[in-house]
Amino acid sequence: MEALGILSPQVFGGALRRRGSGWRPVATQQGLAANTLGYGTLTELPDWFYADGRPAPPMKGQLRRKAQREKFARRVVLLSQEWMLDYGMAAQAAGEVAEEEKEAEECS
């Protein structure tokens, strides 16, 4: 076959096997984003600037990511406040129970 100018599939076998693996699994193992547009400085910085140095207006994707981050931050604050409230109420209830037990012991 090779004499006729037709290459065997074994010649390209390694390249075909490596083609499917790509760099993304290695990148995720190194702590990089699986998607290059996922996060990071290259994603967050504007693509261009005006000639006088003003930044470009934010793109739709940047605005969407900003809104998602703000929504997540609000949820974190809300849940932490609820947790602190629950923790405070539990501590207060435990303190009241302890005081009632002391009063019961003193009365008897």
Phi, psi of 56 (to 5 degrees): -70, 155
Tokens of 28: 């995720």
pTM: 0.48
Residue-wise burial string across 32-49, b where 16 or more C-beta atoms lie within 10 A, e elsewhere: eeeeeeeeeeeeeeeeee
What average pLDDT does range 45-72 have in this prediction? 88
Helices (H), the chain: 9-21, 24-29, 41-44, 60-107
Domain definitions of the chain by residue range: 2-107
Phi-psi region for residue 62, left (φ > 0), alpha (ψ -120 to 50) or beta?
alpha
Q: Using one digit for the tens of pLDDT, what is the confidence trace for 59-104?
A: 898 899 899 999 999 999 999 988 888 877 777 777 787 788 877 7
